[in-house]
A and B are shown apart, each in its own frame.
Chain A
Amino acid sequence: MKHRSFFWFFLPTGLAMLLFIAMPIVSVIIQSLYAPHESVLITVENCGPFGCTEETTIDQEATRALEEAKPLGRFVGLDIYRDRGHLAFAELREAWQSGQGIRGVIDTLGNLPFYRAITFTLVFTFTVTPSLIVLGLLIALAVNSLHRHLKGLMIFFSLLPMIVTPLIGSLILFWMIDSRGILGTALQSIFENPDLSLKASSELTWLVLIIYGIWHSAPFAFVVFYAGLQTLPSDQLEAARIDGATRWQQVRYVVIPHLMPLVTFVALIQLMDNFRIFEPIVGFNASAHATSLSWIIFNDLAGETRQLSAAATTSVLTIIGVAILLSPVLVRTWREYRGSYR
């Protein structure tokens, strides 16, 4: 394509990307470097139904003057990145110097909101993504070998978990696994332990969230792999069968290599999706046991006092996290592209 026609062809997409992707990122980065002005506090008398008290309040006129002079707030550089709510450098240094060695640092990490959240996020991402790829492949192979009259129905049912809105799906499961719910009671009688509660222990809550994540996303992998199976050249399979390949060998040496580009695609999308895990934590009321970066952003914005700069900082850290996570896959795709171009 000529450069000129490429330019005009790309212009609308480029503009949209600039407007909807680049600008918000720039705005979030700027927000994370600024914090609100120091509040000018005054003591005043407040009266209400329960009598009068001396209380502290914000001096609106003085604060407004500050804001008008510098509408962005005060520049704090990377201070918010370094504070306890985010990368917590001071706390980590202190733990390192406390003389308890690596054990002390790990304990401190487990106590800092950002590192707690990233631990759960990474465990979730790296257990759910491979599991759902394997499960999705198994379902696709199973459905593909069904009689054609049954296929349509089975595809529909296999897709259901993905159709359910994550928040609703997790809420429904939340009630089912309640110690008085149908699954919770069933588990209690299976394990003969009337005190068993999936919601009361962190480990079990993590397990439930991971199972939910696989349940919810496996249909996506299934539908992609199923589409891929339809393009499988039948002569290759026949040749393999004539050579005496077992069903497992056919899958291992013919089907999986054929689907490999799709596996990369599903892994890419799901790594991104699972890294942003949010709704299940809200739906399962799991914030006492498991948090994620997205949940921290939500929590900063949902309090009575909104912390925009803290939320912006966590957003930037999330973007960096996604970039690091995707870099191996992206590098590989780029190499393949370069290879095929030559």
Chain B
Amino acid sequence: MKGIHSMIASGVALMLAASAASACTISARVSIVGNEFPAIQTIGAQAKECTGAEVSTNLTKDHQTINVPGMQGNPAEYTSAIIANSSIVALMNEDVIRPLDDLIEKHGQGLKPSQLITIDGKVMAVAFMANAQHLVYRADILKKIGVEAPRTYEEMLAAAKMIRDQGIMENPIGGAYKAGWGLAQEFNNMFLGHGGRHFKAGSAHPNINTPEGIKTLEMMKSLSEYMNPDFLTHDNNETNAEFRAGNVAIMNMWGSRAETLVTADGVSQEVIDGFAIRGPMTVDGGTTPASTLWWDGWTVAKNIPDDEAEATFIALMHAIRPELMEDDGIARQAVWLIDGYKPTSASAGVIEAAEMKTIPYPMIPYMGLLHTALGNELADFLQGKESAEQALSDVEAAYRAAAKEKGFL
């Protein structure tokens, strides 16, 4: 008990010291909803340092399902939603976030122009970090079979075959192919890498039942043959667990998870020493990486009084102040877009992804519907129950039904 007390006491003392160092005073309520990975936990904790009014946070994996309902009321429950380039679209579609130009002029000194997410000339969000999926691998295993880190998916397959044939690992490839969002995202990566475009130019008509789409599915199928047979039930967490357990040697994984990948309890020394990252791979002789670029940023709700909007802006500006970048622990949590950030070893994959001109995840009003349709309809193909053409035409049909209902087609 005593130990806990003194821990709390020192924690409080630390917080007091921190808030004394850079004061943040607000005069109205702040309420933030967002995802739960380490970098966003830091943003939430930093915003809570502000004094003068209550700051509450709700950081959860299910943020996407609650942020729109929580901002539609007037006054809105949440004064800010932390979102990414995919999820800002839902907030834009429902018109629940406000342009930030006036607040930036008043309180936004120190923001870099590249942090401002501008839509039709109005700043709608402030980005604070970049993210991408990229290669994560076991350098020791690849050394054992005598190959370099794969730069293409074809090389990845060849390496996987060698690892299996030499009896080192049965299922050396990891993939977050769980039916639903993850599976659809892996399709998006591979599809963009093949040079595919999701929609016919300038319209909401789907454009995935194409030669690129078929090649994409065939590559995914080949990869899945080197994955744990349960791959359709594995999301990022399970795939990471397989890597930590030493069952996986090569995988495409989120940059934001690279830092914590081998820090969990019980990871063997072999895995910790062998862990290495590189930029995303290309596929089929293309030059565009088979991955997508992401930013994470914060928004301010539309349906709240001006004083709450201002307080929210001040608290979140405090949460992304450049001084934080001097803290090594925080700096390693993400590829920050904040002024003063110096790349760390954990950021190499995402930075390489940006340098390789990876395509950002499409910020289009109807992309979410296509993503959902992909997640529901591709599992049949990967189980060998139907052809690639059939799977893609199912996706297009499912998307068309949804897009018609939502008034996009």
Is A55's CB within 8 Å of the partner chain B?
yes
- B372, B402, B407: the one within 8 Å of A39 (CB): B407
Is A319's CB within 8 Å of the partner chain B?
no
Known pairs A48-B85, A57-B365; list 9 more (Cβ under 8 Å): A36-B405, A47-B117, A52-B118, A56-B204, A64-B95, A174-B233, A302-B65, A304-B368, A306-B68
Is A44's CB within 8 Å of the partner chain B?
yes
List chain A residues, Cβ under 8 A from B65: 301-302
Counted as pairs of residues, one from A and one from B, with CB atoms less than 8 Å apart, the total is 166
Q: Within A270-284, which residues are at the interface with B (CB < 8 Å)?
A: 284
Identify 23 residue pairs between A and B in the complex whose beta-carbon atoms are under 8 Å apart, listed by A's number.
Answer: A35-B404, A35-B407, A41-B204, A45-B118, A45-B121, A47-B116, A48-B117, A48-B118, A50-B293, A56-B202, A57-B92, A58-B95, A80-B405, A83-B401, A84-B401, A113-B398, A178-B230, A285-B232, A287-B376, A289-B379, A304-B371, A304-B372, A309-B405
List chain B residues, Cβ under 8 A from A100: none
The answer to whether B119 and A199 touch across the interface, beta carbons within 8 angstroms, is no
List chain B residues, Cβ under 8 A from A304: 64, 86-87, 89-90, 368, 371-372
Q: Within A54-112, which residues are at the interface with B (CB < 8 Å)?
A: 55-58, 60, 63-64, 74, 76, 79-80, 83-85, 91, 111
The answer to whether B354 and A50 touch across the interface, beta carbons within 8 angstroms, is yes
Query: From B178, which residue of chain A is reached at the shortest CB distance?
Result: A285
Instruction: Provide the A297-326 mask, 1 if CB < 8 A to any CB of B, else 0.
Output: 001011111110110000000000000000
Is A200's CB within 8 Å of the partner chain B?
yes
How distant is A25 from chain B, measured CB to nearest CB, in Å? 21
- B87, B92, B382: the one within 8 Å of A58 (CB): B92
- B127, B390, B397: the one within 8 Å of A49 (CB): B127
Q: By CB atoms of chain A within 10 A, which of B116, B362, B405 has the most?
A: B405
Is B115's CB within 8 Å of the partner chain A?
yes
Q: Within A2-44, which residues are at the interface with B (CB < 8 Å)?
A: 35-39, 41-44
Complex CA distance for A74 and B68, rounded to whole angstroms: 22
The answer to whether B407 and A38 touch across the interface, beta carbons within 8 angstroms, is yes
Is B196's CB within 8 Å of the partner chain A?
no
The answer to whether B120 and A44 touch across the interface, beta carbons within 8 angstroms, is yes
The answer to whether A310 and B405 touch across the interface, beta carbons within 8 angstroms, is yes
List chain A residues, Cβ under 8 A from B204: 41, 56
The answer to whether A200 and B229 touch across the interface, beta carbons within 8 angstroms, is yes
A-B CB proximity, top 4 nearest: A44-B120, A304-B368, A288-B379, A288-B179
Is B93's CB within 8 Å of the partner chain A?
yes
Complex CA distance for A38 and B404, rounded to whole angstroms: 8
List chain B residues, Cβ under 8 A from A302: 64-65
The answer to whether B360 and A48 touch across the interface, beta carbons within 8 angstroms, is yes
Query: From B382, which residue of chain A is reached at the shortest CB distance?
Result: A288
Instruction: Provide the B371-382 mask, 1 if CB < 8 A to any CB of A, else 0.
Output: 110001001101
Q: Within B362-401, which residues are at the interface with A (CB < 8 Å)?
A: 362-366, 368-369, 371-372, 376, 379-380, 382-383, 386, 390, 394, 397-398, 400-401
Also in contact, A39 and B406, with CB within 8 A (given A45-B121, A57-B365): yes
Is B228's CB within 8 Å of the partner chain A?
yes
How distant is A103 from chain B, measured CB to nearest CB, in Å? 15
- B130, B230, B363, B379: the one within 8 Å of A179 (CB): B230
Query: From B359, which residue of chain A is reached at the shortest CB distance?
Result: A50
Complex CA distance for A35 and B95, rounded to whole angstroms: 18
The answer to whether A57 and B118 touch across the interface, beta carbons within 8 angstroms, is no
Also in contact, A50 and B93, with CB within 8 A (given A35-B407, A85-B398, A303-B372): no
Complex CA distance for A77 and B180, rounded to whole angstroms: 30
How distant is B76 from chain A, measured CB to nearest CB, in Å? 16
The answer to whether A57 and B120 touch across the interface, beta carbons within 8 angstroms, is yes
How distant is B130 from chain A, measured CB to nearest CB, in Å? 6
The answer to whether B386 and A83 touch across the interface, beta carbons within 8 angstroms, is no
Complex CA distance for A85 and B382, rounded to whole angstroms: 21
Complex CA distance for A289 and B233, rounded to whole angstroms: 10
The answer to whether A46 and B407 touch across the interface, beta carbons within 8 angstroms, is no
Complex CA distance for A172 and B243, rounded to whole angstroms: 22
Is A131's CB within 8 Å of the partner chain B?
no
Is B268's CB within 8 Å of the partner chain A?
no
Complex CA distance for A150 and B397, rounded to whole angstroms: 60
Is B311's CB within 8 Å of the partner chain A?
no
